[in-house]
Amino acid sequence: MTVYQATASAPVNIACIKYWGKRDTKLILPTNSSLSVTLDQDHLRSTTTSRADPSFTRDRLWLNGKEDEIKDGGRLATCIREMKRLRKEEVEDKNTDEPKLSTYSVHICSYNNFPTAAGLASSASGFAALVSSLAHLYQLPVSASTLSLISRQGSGSACRSLFGGFVAWQMGSDPSGSDSLAVEVAPQSHWPDIHALICVVSDDKKGTSSTSGMQRTVETSALLQHRINNVVPQRMKDIEKAILEKDFDTFARITMADSNQFHAVALDTEPPIFYMNDVSRAIIAVIVEYNRLSIEAGTGYKAAYTYDAGPNAVIYAPKANIKEIVEFIVTYFPQEENSFKDVFSLFGGGRL
Ligand code: 2P0
């Protein structure tokens, strides 16, 4: 008997230009393009195994060993349905000898190998790994950008985790979502000197989920309209150029400015949303001072901070600066309650 089973994994990504707001909540079409760095480390990944079998009576999913409901019309159901559609159209309709896997139910098991204490969003790596494993199972002859159209419908940021290195999610303009997809800006090998340091400030569950928070921002923030119309389009061009030219000063300036503006639009939401805490803000002050001293000495920017929908800092820096940054962070923020729980070094480094 043939066993139809495949395993794939996908890493976490951290945005430099933030996605915040949808113009279509069902198809998950964003109000602006975004750009991220995929953290290429073995210990921050989701790994998913999918199996199709004619004896299965319904689609089922287990997350970290616990069964999760696949709600009708929900994001998981949409991704599975769309992958089965691709299997039928791209494989079974073209070669009628192929087994009709699109008609079988699937069982899916997914694990995150990073501690939930890291406070990192798992939906991006999770949906990217799910779509990758089904693509292997179904032997789909399609590109990562095509798969990104489907992982996007699981979680917006998941479309960017299908590529390594520097990745853009082009917002697109078609109401069907057919051009809202991820593309590679540059592979990690283009600029391997950039490292990322994750400083876990708090592992508390965040108060406002990204999904509901961003739609409140769309509905109530005037500043968001300025951001999506007048700011992000130019920033996308400028940061792509900076990445291609390995211009760290520009990369750092844009990354920090976009983190600041994302948190400003969160604050401009009614009622306001606060994701950073006092420790987050103190880390910003330290990085700003570190850069100021370096700029005054004529050596340019040394590090860039960015914060997602939570208080944890991600610091991008050239490899040569990482040791120094870790040293002063540990000095300023000794490991204690309400301070760092952990510091991770990514892009070749491991846990410090
Ligand atoms: C990002 N975030 O670009 C931004 C920055 C959070 C802050 O993508 O509703 O979990 O599943 O599409 O992808 C978080 O949004 O939201 C996010 P859904 P998602 O990384």
C-beta of residue 170 within 8 angstroms of C-beta of residue 180 = yes
Residue 347 Cα to ligand 1 midpoint, Å, equals 22
**CB of residue 35 inside a 6 A radius of ligand 1:** no
The edge-to-edge listing of strands for the beta sheet with 350-351 is 304-307, 313-318, 194-200, 342-346, 350-351
Per-residue pLDDT tens over the stretch 131-177: 999 999 999 999 999 999 999 999 999 999 999 999 999 999 999 99
Each residue's pLDDT tens digit, 184-232: 999 999 999 999 988 888 766 667 889 999 999 999 999 999 999 999 9
β-sheet with 181-186: strand ranges across: 13-17, 34-38, 165-170, 181-186
The whole-model pTM stands at 0.94
| Residue 120 pLDDT | 67
Give the residue, out of 26, 46, 155, with the most ligand 1 atoms within 8 A of its beta carbon, to mutate for a pocket test.
Answer: 155
13 C-beta closer than 6 A to ligand 1: no
- Please tell me what DSSP assigns to residue 162: G
Beta-carbon contacts of 211 under 8 Å, excluding residues fewer than 6 positions away, are none
Pairwise CA distance, residues 251 & 300, whole Å: 12
The residues, ordered by sequence, that sit 6+ positions from 37 with a Cβ below 8 Å of its Cβ are: 13, 14, 16, 165, 166, 167, 194, 196, 316
pLDDT at 199: 85
Does 85 score more than 90 pLDDT? yes
Q: Is the CB of 32 under 6 A from ligand 1?
A: no
Question: Beta-carbon neighbour count of residue 81 at 10 Å?
Answer: 14
The predicted complex's ipTM stands at 0.99
Amino acid at 222: A
Cβ 151 under 6 angstroms from ligand 1: no
Give percent above pLDDT 90 in the chain: 80
The closest alpha carbon to 18, from 33, 38, 37, belongs to 33
Tell me what the mean pLDDT of segment 228-254 comes to: 98
Model pLDDT for residues 334-352, shown as the tens digit of each residue? 665 544 444 554 433 333 3
Distance 158 CA to ligand 1 centre (A): 8
> CB of 123 closer than 6 A to ligand 1?
yes
Question: 296: which residues sit within 8 A by CB, 6+ positions away?
Answer: none
Cβ 309 under 6 angstroms from ligand 1: yes
How far apart CA 290 and CA 205 sit, in angstroms, is 30
CB 60 within 8 A of CB 77: no
